[in-house]
């Protein structure tokens, strides 16, 4: 555990909780900033301090300014002091508060799941753009199709059909121009990707998979809290699924007409898999290393594309012709990820940059 000794000693000897009794809100906020200053830069200190006051005291930043002379009640002082002591150990503020905001929705987080990040929101925005705003040619082959053992070797060159003509395999009456899209989120964690897609793409059915039972429990709780029901949660190891379908549930879907299980064909497979090499840990902040799950972060130094290769090979069997493969990636391996998908036979491979102008996404389509 990383502890700043000066902050810890200050909290211990001066009794932060009682100390706050002596100060109005403005001074309490300044004191909180002093506690955070050794761990965060000035901008983060301000953001975290404001967030704590907003959540603990139920006040907006404007109200904080207008009520700067207000003395906090005992229960709010107690919670604020407890939060400050946890933050002093390097624990992320999202875990201290128990939630993180992601694309306007509140997701419960804990040490078993990654804290949602802005670049992941950009990935979700791009996928929603494909299926809702149709800014990318959204042509999917929706005729009756069996998964191919090795689509690359089959040389699939058939013209793609109208994505709205899905009455055969989707159980939608002819003339209804509203396809039900099946999407797969691999490594769902808190469920931020899967639940966002489920909420924003209509109509859709999302399969959210993770190896961690604790992560799946968190994602299910988030689905319930958000009132999102068009998601199923599956425990599976994609590294085992790479070349054979070990998980019957993951690799099947329910036929809407017969109710029978049929081989799964997804319109898109989306993933933010582990992609940080162990050797990169030396450059990472302590609050990430000490408090977020290594299972969801790291890959071996000698195989940085381990999960991308496994997911891409799975996609060759379970991605619909014309379907999308959408990855968040390590910016250090953008060209390598691009080349991997190209070599495996995917088409329309594109390396995309995030708002910080870093290569953080790769999109491709099954030919």
Segment 294-304 shows an average pLDDT of: 77
- Looking at the structure, tell me whether residues 213 and 335 fall in a common domain: yes
Q: Supply the pLDDT for residue 40.
A: 86
Query: Which DSSP state fits 357?
Result: S
Based on the domain organization, do 62 and 114 belong to the same domain? no
**96 belongs to a structural domain:** no
- Residue 95 is assigned to a structural domain of this protein: no
pLDDT at 216 over 80: yes
Q: Which of residues 56, 90, 124 is at a domain's end?
A: 90
Q: Would you state the pLDDT for residue 12?
A: 42
Residue from 19, 130, 37, 161 nearest 87 by CA: 37
Query: In the chain, how many H helices and how many E strands?
Result: 16, 13
Residue 365 φ then ψ, to 5°: -130, 145
**Are residues 144 and 52 located together in one domain of the fold?**
no
Residue range 310-325, pLDDT digits in tens: 999 999 999 999 999 9
Question: Which of 69, 90, 111 is the last residue in one of the domains?
Answer: 90
Assigned domain for 97 exists: no
Q: Is the pLDDT of residue 278 over 80?
A: no
Q: Give the model's pLDDT for residue 330.
A: 94
Cβ neighbourhood burial of 115 (10 Å; 0-12, 13-18, 19+): buried
Residue 147 within any structural domain of the chain = yes
* Residues 269 and 307 occupy one common structural domain: yes
**Predicted confidence (pLDDT) per residue in 142-197, tens digit:** 654 554 443 333 333 332 223 333 333 333 333 344 578 999 999 999 999 999 99
Asked whether residue 29 falls in the same domain as residue 160, the answer is: no
Query: Looking at the predicted structure, is the pLDDT value of residue 22 above 60?
Result: no
Quote the CA–CA distance of 187 and 237 in Å, as a whole number: 9
Question: What pLDDT score does 211 carry?
Answer: 94
- pTM (predicted TM-score): 0.82
Dist CA 81 CA 15 (whole Å): 9
Query: Residues 187, 48: one domain?
Result: no
Provide the residue range defining the domain that includes 257. 102-365
Does 309 reside within a domain? yes
Is there a single domain that holds both residue 323 and residue 222? yes
Residues 161 and 48 both lie in one domain: no
Q: Are the beta carbons of 345 and 367 closer than 8 angstroms?
A: yes
Q: What is the mean pLDDT of the chain?
A: 81
Residue of 242, 298, 292 lying closest to 275 (CA atoms): 298
192 in any annotated domain: yes
* pLDDT above 80: residue 69: no
pLDDT at residue 163 in the model: 34
- Whether residues 128 and 79 share a domain: the answer is no
pLDDT at 119: 95
Of 227, 211, 244, residue with least CA distance to 316: 244
**15 alpha carbon, distance to own chain's centre:** 38
Number of domains in the chain: 2
Residues 66 and 157 both lie in one domain: no
Same domain flag for 109 and 169: yes
In a domain, 169, yes or no: yes
Same domain (yes/no): 166, 40? no
Is residue 65 classed exposed, middle or buried when 0-12, 13-18 and 19+ CB atoms within 10 A define those classes? Answer: exposed
Predicted confidence (pLDDT) per residue in 81-112, tens digit: 888 888 888 899 999 999 999 999 999 999 99
- pLDDT value for 292: 64
Residue at a domain's end among 90, 123, 156: 90
Reported for 177-181, long-range contacts at CB under 8 A and 24+ positions apart, including other chains, are 178/202, 178/203, 179/142, 179/203, 180/204, 180/205, 180/256, 181/131, 181/205, 181/267, 181/268
């Amino acid at each position: 555990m990383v502890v700043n000794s000066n902050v810890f000693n200050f909290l211990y000897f001066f009794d932060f909780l009682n100390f706050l009794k002596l100060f109005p809100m403005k001074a309490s906020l300044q004191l909180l900033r002093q506690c955070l200053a050794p761990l965060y830069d000035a901008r983060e200190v301000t953001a975290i301090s404001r967030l704590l006051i907003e959540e603990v005291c139920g006040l907006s930043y404007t109200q904080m300014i207008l009520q700067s002379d207000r003395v906090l009640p005992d229960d709010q002082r107690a919670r604020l002091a407890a939060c400050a002591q946890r933050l002093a150990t390097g624990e992320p503020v999202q875990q201290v508060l128990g939630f993180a905001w992601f694309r306007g929705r509140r997701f419960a987080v804990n040490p078993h799941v990654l804290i949602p990040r802005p670049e992941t929101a950009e990935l979700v925005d791009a996928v929603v753009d494909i299926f809702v705003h149709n800014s990318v040619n959204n042509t999917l082959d929706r005729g009756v199709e069996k998964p191919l053992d090795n689509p690359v070797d089959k040389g699939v060159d058939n013209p793609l059909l109208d994505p709205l003509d899905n009455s055969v395999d989707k159980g939608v009456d002819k003339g209804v121009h509203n396809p039900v899209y099946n999407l797969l989120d691999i490594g769902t964690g808190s469920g931020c990707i899967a639940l966002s897609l489920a909420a924003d793409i209509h109509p859709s059915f999302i399969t959210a998979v993770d190896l961690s039972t604790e992560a799946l429990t968190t994602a299910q709780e988030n689905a319930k809290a958000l009132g999102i029901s068009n998601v199923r949660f599956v425990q599976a190891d994609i590294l085992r699924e790479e070349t054979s379908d070990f998980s019957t549930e993951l690799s099947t879907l329910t036929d809407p007409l017969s109710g029978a299980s049929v081989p799964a064909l997804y319109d898109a497979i989306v993933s933010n898999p582990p992609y940080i090499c162990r050797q990169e840990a030396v450059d990472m902040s302590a609050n990430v290393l000490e408090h977020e799950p290594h299972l969801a972060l790291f890959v071996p130094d000698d195989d940085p594309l381990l999960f991308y290769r496994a997911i891409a090979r799975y996609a060759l069997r379970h991605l619909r012709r014309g379907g999308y493969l959408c990855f968040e990636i390590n910016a250090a391996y953008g060209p390598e990820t691009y080349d991997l998908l190209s070599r495996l036979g995917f088409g329309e491979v594109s390396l995309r940059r995030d708002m910080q102008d870093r290569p953080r996404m790769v999109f491709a389509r099954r030919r």
